Structure 1
Amino acid sequence: MDGVQLLRLGKRLTELGRAMITDPAAEHLSAGEIAVVSDVYRHPATSVQEIRVRTGFAQSHVSVSVARLRERGLLDAAADPADGRRTLLTVSESARHAIRAHVARPAEPVIAKAVPDPEKARRVTELLDELAGLLLP
């Protein structure tokens, strides 16, 4: 495997992962909004500035995304108890529940769509489980 193949594989796995966690019935979120929600999910009680630093997005992009996500009820905001001028963001409980439900689903149906041969799909699943064990902390 060379670097280009590795990048292509990473992109394909990202596409499959997004297909797993995206609910077609849910309101559409942009890739940037998904990145912001993901960041806040991993770092609760965080500020727009901290999200900007971790994601690398422009402050204006983060601020607009946060405003939209708050309007949709996906993020909750509260004043920072240490500095009342700052707003701290957390994923709302309803969004947290939906995220947990989506990420807990098994990958096999998505893999089966990508690899129609049942035996090959089973093998892909085994290999991905093995790779996850080797490469993920």
Structure 2
Amino acid sequence: MNVARLRRLGRRLIELSRAAAGETKGPALTPGEEAVFEDVLRHPGSAVGEIQARTGFVQSHVSASVARMRERGLMETGPDPADGRRTQVRVTDVATRAVLRRAIRPVDEAVRQAVPEEARAERVMALLDELEALLIIEDDHGQG
């Protein structure tokens, strides 16, 4: 395997995860918003500068993404109790519950749609389980 094929595989796995998760309400997040959302989900209470440092996006992009998602009810901001000049960003409880509902859905049906031959679909699911065991670090808390 080379980098190009690994990236192609990664994109295909993302497609399968989206198919398994089903449709979301409202407009889809842009890839940049999705990266910011995932970062805030993993690091609640972060400041925009911290999100910018972890994602690599410019601060204006992070700020704009947070503002758009706040307008849509996906994020909330508030002052840091330890430093009132600093603003903390969190995913709303409603959005967190929606993410958790989607995250626990099994992928079997999406795999069977992508790989209609039953034996191959079973093999793909076994390989996915093996890859998860080998590649997912336990401190990710199931968040990928």
Q: 1:110: which partner in 2?
A: 110
- The 2-side partners of 1:123 and 1:26 are apart by 35
Task: Give, in angstroms, the shift of residue 104 of structure 1.
Answer: 0.6
Name the TM-score, length of structure 2 as normaliser.
0.87
- For the 8 Å contact 1:20–1:103, the answer to whether it is kept is no
Give the unaligned 5+ runs of structure 1.
none
Correspondence list, 1:47-126, <5 A: 47-126=47-126
Give the unaligned 5+ runs of structure 2.
138-144
Q: 2:140: which partner in 1?
A: none
- The 1-side partners of 2:117 and 2:24 are apart by 25
Q: Which amino acid aligns with 1:40?
A: V
Q: 1:32: which partner in 2?
A: 32
- The 2-side partners of 1:104 and 1:32 are apart by 24
Question: Matched residues, percent identical?
Answer: 50
- The 2-side partners of 1:96 and 1:114 are apart by 28
Correspondence list, 1:13-24, <5 A: 13-21=13-21, 23-24=23-24
Name the TM-score, length of structure 1 as normaliser.
0.91
Higher mean alpha-carbon deviation, 47-56 vs 24-33, is at 24-33
* Structure 1 pair 29–9 and aligned structure 2 pair: CA distance change class (3 A): same
